[in-house]
Chains A and B, each alone.
Chain A
């Protein structure tokens, strides 16, 4: 079974802090994604990566950056956290572009 692991289930940070959300998958998947989920807005794509050291902006990249130094790890970075980044963050991976996504359990981030 594919396992996508997000390092924290809950996180509380202060405004202006630099925040790292880590995601690791164990199935040698090429493709990895970061979504945020907010009530009534569904899943919105922040960034994605189709290969090591490759990254592409999704629909809402502002205020975020990503890092993919190794195939299995995809990190989401909030350079200076703001209260409007309080949300559930979901990482996902897939072997090929149109294969089913495998999601992690999410990180609920609160920025105060």
Chain B
């Protein structure tokens, strides 16, 4: 089977940095994606890593280590609006649907 592990909840202070980890065990691997979902909203795509290393998009960065089957999402200069659920997802092959983790609920506090 396929499994992705990520923490269920994380709390961080406004202005700080937070890292959300994701480890995966899947039958194949094409890439790791991250999605954000605010309460009552639709998940929206944040980032995709196919190769090892760090991808940066503004305050958000995503990292992948294929050898460790591990990735993380890094959020810097946290804002209250970053309070949301964050899902990691693995592309197992080129023509199969994404496999999602159960999500991490991030709460940003003042």
Q: A90-B42, A101-B43, A104-B42 are in contact. Are A41 and B102 (CB under 8 A)?
A: yes
The secondary structure that dominates the B interface is: loop
Residue in contact with A42 in the complex, picked from B33, B91, B102, CB distance below 8 Å: B102
Say yes or no for A97: interface residue by CB 8 A criterion.
Answer: yes
Q: Which residues of B sit under 8 angstroms from A33, Cβ to Cβ?
A: 97
A97 to B31, alpha carbons, bound, how many Å? Answer: 12
- Contacts of B83-110 to chain A: CB distance below 8 A: 87, 91, 94-98, 100-103
Q: Interface digits, A41-53 against B, CB 8 Å rule (1 contact, 0 not)?
A: 1111100101000
Say yes or no for A84: interface residue by CB 8 A criterion.
Answer: no
Q: Which residues of B sit under 8 angstroms from A58, Cβ to Cβ?
A: 97
Contact at A98–B102, with CB atoms within 8 Å? no
User: Which A positions have Cβ atoms within 8 angstroms of B?
Assistant: 4, 33, 35, 40-45, 48, 50, 58, 90, 97-98, 100-106
User: Which B positions have Cβ atoms within 8 angstroms of A?
Assistant: 8, 30-31, 33, 35, 41-45, 48, 87, 91, 94-98, 100-103
